[in-house]
Chains A and B, each alone.
Chain A
Amino acid sequence: MSAQDHSLRDPPDLPRPFRPSGPLMQRNSAITERRWVQWTLIATAVVFLLFFLFLPLVAVFAEAFRNGVSTYLIALQEPDARSALNLTLITAAIAVPLNLVFGVCAAWAITKFDFRGKSLLISLIDLPFSVSPVVAGLVYVLVFGAQGWLGPWLLEHDIKIVFAVPGIVLATIFVTFPFIARELIPLMQAQGTDDEQAAVSLGASGWKTFWRVTLPNIKWGLLYGVLLCNARAFGEFGAVSVVSGHIRGMTNTLPLHIEILYNEYAFAAAFAVASLLASLALVTLAAKSFLEWRYGDELAAGRRH
């Protein structure tokens, strides 16, 4: 009892309110590394980024302009280069929208519905990631090639797929298929189906629910998936190389054209075209950054809730 009384009268020392005793930005040694450790870590990261990401990019442009701007422009204006650029753009323009539709459909089906064979579908979507692009290309040759399963029938009807634009587009679609679906599935899984159920219970049709509720919820993930898909569609080499046949001015995409130029020791031209491909990638990244900057608030609001 007496101990209790004592403790009531004399409260134990409570921690005094914290008063910073030094400069405001004083470092807390318990949670901060020593200065030399900090600098070593930062330097390692910076050197790594310089050598592996930034330097190659600079090297491409430096090599491209080594023999002057005029050589550079001539290399780009060469008919084969222009046709390769056109083919690359056309391929991406077909493959990306198709994969956009496929990817959204697949992600929608997988995340909003339960059905038999769902895990099989998920594995199939991952297939292009796990199979080497060369194998994918060979599969198309095997199916659509002159000696392939459908070869005779295609020949009869005068349809060219392998060693022609359709084959290149098909191979590109195959290789870039997972990008959009893979980007959307985790996002849509996390979002669940409550919003859709709410919309339907309020009287919206499936179509209206998709346009007004689902699509706005996934638009940023979708955009990111499209950009990744697009970058890969521009740059795909392996699968396209197998099905294209490397016909100059006809079935050469930019990456194939670069390889040919390089193998012919036309380094300046090779790097000039490579710089074009790199520029396309940079434009893509810039577009993404711009959209994030422009709609950053909305993006943050969407994520927060």
Chain B
Amino acid sequence: MDIHVRNIEKDFGTFKALDRVDLDIESGELIALLGPSGSGKTTLLRVIAGLEFADQGEILFGNQDMARVPVRDRQVGFVFQHYALFKHMTVLDNVSFGLKVRKDKPSAEAIRQRATELIELVQLGGLEKRYPSQLSGGQRQRVALARALAIDPKVLLLDEPFGALDAKVRKDLRRWLRDLHDQTGVTTIFVTHDQEEALELADRVVIMNKGRIEQLGHVDAVYEKPANPFVFDFLGNTNIVPVTLRNGVVNLGQGDAAIAESSGSKDGPALLYVRPGDVRIAADGAAGLPTTVQRVQRTGPIVRIDAEVFGSTAPITVELPHLHHDTSAFQPGAELRLRLLQFSLYAEDSGALLGASTPADAIGVAASRQRSR
């Protein structure tokens, strides 16, 4: 079922939870609503479910306007953050609940069969007679999913599905949920504040902030071309470096580069955003910006280096895989060369995207000129 969210607004008193939200979801998609707490992502999910009513705008399931359809008739599978399993019912009774309360209730045998099928699907076969209190967190989560799937939902809505689980279980369940989605093909929307989770699991990501959608796009597009500083910052660690923009050329310290998508931007100061993993570092003499290493930190598989670019005030953090052979080169005080492979450029005041790099015009590689030190 394709779902369309049109111009939805929702206030809680003076707090604007949703501010003119538009969203189109294709049938069978797996969508992540990603944002910090208070960004309106859970409210949007609840509005789609019908657990919350919007002040304005409409929700369409296919062509059908759902505004007047109460939650019980919407046929949405909602998985709550803390699962909301019925504690006094066994796993089997929990999963059958949605079928038992239906107006056109199937026969007891059919209900039992369907519930057993779903319990098998979520790999909980043999635990039908257990009560929720006798299950682990991950198992409860899967019971909640089976219960939601039992009503053949038009859309599956998951509120922070992995929020209450520990890191290991969370990773396993993530992969499992993706497989399950590929098997069942139910349109699925889930809410998360964990960018890694959203990027790994979803087809498309909706990034929300202060009740608005900041960016909507495929996982790679959102990660590679963040629409604004908020999105860039939210999707992982970020270096923010003040630079100067002149005639479509960005200047940082002693290196500069033409940017690929200069949107007719004015000359002057701008902010360059670059992820620590998109910076390369090489021995002195190679191409790149002359740099002094300030601090080196080794954390397991990653080496983190704080480097000061000659002629720039902001230090840049670089993350490299831990390779033993180059350990000696990265000592505080070492003079090295730095290349920024992929970055975005935003206006200092408005935050508008001024341009982005492609790997070819990395600062330090395709430098049009390089001053001598």
Contact = CB atoms under 8 A, between A and B. Distances in A.
A201 B72 contact: yes
Contacts of A118: none
B84 A203 contact: no
Contact of B84 (A198, A212, A304): A198
B151 A203 contact: yes
Contacts of A205: 72, 101
Contact of B78 (A195, A201, A212, A213): A201
B159 to A, nearest CB: 10
Contacts of B77: 201
B234 interface: no
A194 B133 contact: no
A197 B78 CA distance: 9
B72 A203 contact: yes
A285 interface: no
B88 interface: yes
A298 B51 CA distance: 30
B131 interface: yes
Given A204-B97, A205-B72, A205-B101, A304 B86 contact: no
B102 interface: yes
A59 B372 CA distance: 106
A194 to B, nearest CB: 4
B101 A199 contact: yes
A305 interface: yes
Given A203-B72, A204-B101, A208-B101, A198 B88 contact: no
B101 A195 contact: no
Contact of A213 (B51, B86, B98): B86
A202 B150 CA distance: 9
A305 B151 contact: no
B56 interface: no
A302 B133 CA distance: 8
B249 to A, nearest CB: 48
- What bracket does the count of chain B residues touching chain A fall in? 20 to 34
Contacts of A301: 87, 131, 133-134
Contact of A204 (B51, B72, B80, B133): B72
Interface in A164-200: 194-195, 197-200
B275 interface: no
B132 interface: yes
Contacts of A213: 86
B76 interface: yes
Contacts of B112: none
A217 B88 contact: yes
Nearest to A194: B84
A201 B51 contact: yes
B333 to A, nearest CB: 18
B82 interface: yes
Contacts of A201: 49-51, 71-72, 74, 76-78, 148
Q: Residue among B50, B86, B147 with the most chain A CB within 10 A?
A: B86
A198 B78 CA distance: 7
Interface string A291-305: 000000010011011
- Of residues A203, A204, A213, A302, which shows the largest number of chain B Cβ atoms within 10 Å of its Cβ? A203
Interface in B92-139: 97-98, 101-102, 131-134
Contacts of B49: 201
A203 B98 contact: yes
B75 interface: yes
A205 B74 CA distance: 13
A304 to B, nearest CB: 5
Contact of B86 (A195, A197, A208): A195
A202 B101 contact: yes
Contacts of A79: none
A202 B80 contact: no
| Highest count of chain A CB atoms <10 Å: which of B74, B82, B84, B133 | B84
Nearest to B140: A305
A222 B336 CA distance: 73
B280 to A, nearest CB: 32
A216 interface: yes
Given A194-B82, A199-B101, A203-B102, A305 B87 contact: yes
A79 B51 CA distance: 60
B25 to A, nearest CB: 18
Contact of B80 (A194, A208, A217): A194
A238 to B, nearest CB: 39
A304 B133 CA distance: 7
Interface string A272-305: 0000000000000000000000000010011011
A58 B75 CA distance: 62
Contacts of B131: 301, 305
A276 to B, nearest CB: 37
Contacts of A302: 87-88, 133
Given A208-B101, A304-B133, A200 B87 contact: no
A213 B80 CA distance: 16
Given A195-B86, A302-B133, 12 more contacts: A194-B84, A197-B51, A197-B80, A197-B84, A198-B147, A199-B86, A201-B72, A201-B77, A202-B147, A203-B102, A213-B86, A216-B88
Interface of B: 49-51, 70-78, 80, 82, 84-88, 97-98, 101-102, 131-134, 147-148, 150-151
21 contacts: A194-B80, A194-B84, A195-B86, A198-B84, A199-B86, A200-B72, A201-B51, A201-B76, A201-B148, A202-B97, A202-B98, A202-B147, A203-B72, A203-B73, A203-B98, A203-B101, A203-B102, A216-B88, A301-B134, A302-B133, A305-B85
